[in-house]
Chains A and B, each alone.
Chain A
Amino acid sequence: MKPRLVVVYVLLIVLPLALLAALGVRLVHFERRETQQRFRELLLGRLKEIGRGIDDLVERRKREVLRLTETESFDPETLRTIARRNPIVSQVFLLDSEGNLLHPKPSSDLNAGERAFLERTHEIWERRVLAAPDNRQTQQGAVSTQQSAEAMQRIAPSRTFLPQTARGIPAAESNVQTDETFYLQTTAGPEDGESASAPSVGLSVWYWGRDIDLLVWRRLPNGHVIGAELDHSRFLADAISVLPDTDPRTDALGEGRIALVDSIGSPIYEWGVYDPPKGDEPLVERALEPPLAAWALQWHLPAESLAGPGEKGLWFSLVAGLLAVGVAIAGLAVYFYRENSREMREAAQRVSFVNQVSHELKTPLTNIRMYAELLHENADDEDETARQRLGVIVSESQRLSRLIGNILSFGRRQRNHLTLHLTEGTIDDTVRAVLDGFRPSFETRGIEPSFHGGAPGRVRFDRDVLEQILGNLFSNVEKYAAEGKSVRVETRQRDAETTITVADSGPGIPPRERERVFRPFHRISNKITDGVSGTGIGLTISRDLARLHGGDLTLAPSDRGAAFELRLATPPYADGGTS
Chain B
Amino acid sequence: MKILIAEDDPNILDGLAQICEAEGYETLRARNGKEALALFQSQSPDFVCLDIMMPGMSGYDVCREIRKASRTVPVVFISAKSEEIDKVLGLELGADDYLVKPFGVREVAARIRAVTRRCLAARTPESNDEPFRMADVEIFPAELRARRDAADDAIDLSLRDIQILRILYENRGKAVSRHQLFQGAWGIDHIPNSRTLDQHISQLRKRIECDPKEPTVIRTVHGVGYRFEG
Does any Cβ of A come within 8 Å of B69's Cβ? no
Supposing A359-B80, A367-B11, A417-B84 touch, asked if A398 and B104 sit within 8 A by C-beta, the answer is yes
* Chain B residue with Cβ nearest A452: B152
CB atoms of A421 and B88 under 8 A apart: yes
Q: Which residues of the partner chain B approach A371 to less than 8 Å between Cβ atoms?
A: 11, 15
Judging by beta carbons under 8 Å apart, are A370 and B9 in contact?
Answer: no
B116 to chain A, nearest CB (A): 14
Q: Is B106's CB under 8 angstroms from A374's CB?
A: no
Q: Mark B193-229, 1 if CB is under 8 A from A, else 0.
A: 0001001001100000000000000000000000000
Does the CB pair B91–A369 fall under 8 Å? no
Chain A residue numbers with a CB within 8 Å of B100 are 464
* A401-B102 contact, Cβ under 8 Å, with A370-B15, A374-B15, A453-B152: yes
* Shortest distance from the beta carbon of B10 to any chain A beta carbon, whole Å: 10
Q: Smallest distance from the beta carbon of A382 to chain B beta carbons, Å? A: 11
Question: How many pairs of residues, A versus B, come closer than 8 Å at their CB atoms?
Answer: 91
User: A367 contacts B9, CB within 8 Å?
Assistant: yes
Chain B count of residues within 8 A CB distance of the other chain: 37
**Given A359-B81, A369-B104, A370-B15, are A432 and B88 also a contact pair (CB < 8 Å)?**
no
**In the bound complex, CA of A396 to CA of B105 (Å):** 15
Please classify the interface of chain A as helix (H, G, I), strand (E, B), loop, or mixed, using the class held by over half of its residues: helix
Q: B106 to A437, Cβ gap below 8 A?
A: yes
- Expressed in whole angstroms, the Cα–Cα distance for A366 and B102 within the complex equals 4
Please determine whether A369 and B102 come into contact, CB atoms closer than 8 angstroms. Answer: yes
Bound: A359/B100 CA distance, A = 11
- Residues of A416-436 whose CB lies within 8 A of B: 417-419, 421, 423, 425, 428-429, 432-433, 436
B101 at the interface (CB under 8 A from A): yes
B110, CB-defined interface residue at 8 Å:
yes
CA distance A436 to B84 in the complex (A): 26
Q: Is the CB of A367 within 8 A of B15?
A: yes
CA distance A501 to B12 in the complex (A): 35
Query: Which residues of A are found within 8 Å of B88, using beta-carbon distances?
Result: 419, 421
Q: In the complex, A425 Cα to B120 Cα: how many Å?
A: 16
Q: Does B130 make an interface contact (CB < 8 A)?
A: no
B114 interface residue, CB < 8 Å from A? Answer: yes
Q: Report A-chain residues with C-beta under 8 Å of the C-beta of B156.
A: 429
State A374–B114 Cα separation when bound (angstroms).
20
CB contact under 8 A between A417 and B83, given known A363-B12, A367-B9, A432-B153? yes
Query: Main secondary structure on chain B at its contact with chain A?
Result: helix
Q: Would you call A374 and B18 a contact (CB within 8 A)?
A: yes
Contact (A578, B91) CB under 8 Å given A363-B80, A366-B102, A412-B83: yes
Given A412-B84, A421-B84: A370 and B106 within 8 A (CB)?
no
**A425 to chain B: which residues have CB within 8 Å?**
114
Which residues of A sit under 8 angstroms from B19, Cβ to Cβ? Answer: 370, 374
The residue that A363 contacts in the complex, of B18, B101, B196, with Cβ under 8 A, is: B101
Query: Please, how many angstroms separate the alpha-carbon atoms of A398 and B9 in the complex?
Result: 20
A539 to B203, CA, bound (A): 34
**B106 engages A369 (CB within 8 Å):** no
| B43 contacts A by Cβ under 8 Å | no
CA distance A408 to B82 in the complex (A): 8
Min distance, Cβ B149 to any Cβ of chain A, angstroms:
17
Contact of A362 among B101, B105, B106, B114 (CB under 8 A): B101
- Specify the chain A residue showing the minimal Cβ separation from B11: A367
Q: B65 within 8 Å of A by Cβ?
A: no
- What per-residue 1/0 map shows which CB atoms of A395-421 lie under 8 Å from chain B? 001101100110010001000011101
Of A370, A377, A436, A451, which is within 8 A of B103 by CB? Answer: A370
Q: A374-B18, A374-B19, A425-B114 are in contact. Are A397 and B102 (CB under 8 A)?
A: yes
Nearest residue in A to B105 (C-beta to C-beta)? A373
Say how far A413's CB is from chain B's closest CB, in angstroms.
12
A578 to B152, CA, bound (A): 29
Tell me how many residues of A have a C-beta within 8 Å of chain B: 41
Whether A378 and B153, one on each chain, are in contact in the complex, defined by CB atoms closer than 8 angstroms, is no
| Chain B, Cβ-Cβ closest to A433 | B110
Query: Is A72 engaged at the interface, CB distance under 8 Å to the other chain?
Result: no
Residue B170 interfacial (CB < 8 Å): no
Given A359-B80, A412-B84, A433-B110, the answer on whether A423 and B103 have CB atoms closer than 8 Å is no
CB contact between A365 and one of B83, B101, B108, B154 (< 8 Å): that residue: B101
Nearest residue (CB) in A for B95 is A578
Nearest opposing residue in chain A for B8, CB measure: A363
CA A340 to CA B69, docked complex, whole Å: 52
Task: Kindly list chain A residues whose C-beta atoms are within 8 Å of the C-beta of B106.
Answer: 373, 433, 436-437
Minimal Cβ-Cβ distance residue in B for A398: B104
B203's nearest neighbour on chain A, judged by CB, is A377
Nearest-Cβ distance from residue A435 to partner chain B, whole angstroms: 11
Question: Measured between C-beta atoms, what is the minimum distance from B117 to chain A in Å?
Answer: 10
Are B12 and A367 in touch, CB under 8 angstroms?
Answer: yes
Name A360's closest neighbour in chain B (CB-CB). Answer: B80
A-chain residues with CB within 8 Å of residue B82 when the two chains form the complex: 405, 408
**Interface pair B101/A366, CB less than 8 Å apart:** yes
B87 within 8 A of A: yes
Q: Which of B106-132 contact A (CB under 8 A)?
A: 106-108, 110, 114, 118
A residues 351-398 touching B (CB-CB < 8 Å):
359, 362-363, 365-371, 373-374, 377-378, 381, 394, 397-398
Asked if A370 meets B153 with Cβ closer than 8 Å, knowing A408-B82, A417-B83, the reply is no
B9 and A363 form a contact (CB under 8 A): yes
Question: Do residues A366 and B105 form an inter-chain contact, with CB atoms below 8 A?
Answer: no
> Given A363-B80, A419-B84, A464-B100, is A370 in contact with B12 using a C-beta cutoff of 8 Å?
yes
Contact with B along A192-236 (1 / 0, CB 8 A): 000000000000000000000000000000000000000000000
Q: With the chains together, A436 CA to B102 CA distance in Å?
A: 17
The residues of A that contact B203 with a CB separation of less than 8 Å are 377
The answer to whether A362 touches B102, judged by C-beta atoms less than 8 angstroms apart, is: yes
Contact assessment for A366 and B153 in the assembled complex, using a CB-CB cutoff below 8 Å = no
Return the chain B residue nearest A404 by Cβ. B102
Q: Which residue of B lies closest to A454 (CB)?
A: B152
Provide a sorted-by-A list of 24 A–B residue pairs whose CB atoms are within 8 angstroms: A362-B80, A366-B80, A366-B102, A367-B15, A370-B16, A371-B15, A373-B104, A373-B105, A373-B106, A374-B15, A377-B105, A378-B196, A381-B202, A400-B102, A404-B102, A412-B83, A412-B84, A417-B83, A418-B84, A429-B110, A432-B153, A437-B104, A453-B152, A464-B100
Q: Given A370-B105, A429-B110, 18 other A-B contacts at CB below 8 A?
A: A363-B12, A363-B80, A363-B101, A366-B103, A369-B103, A370-B12, A370-B102, A370-B103, A371-B11, A371-B15, A378-B196, A397-B102, A405-B82, A421-B87, A421-B98, A423-B97, A429-B156, A433-B106
Task: Give 3 nearest A-B pairs by CB, closest first.
Answer: A362-B80, A373-B105, A366-B102
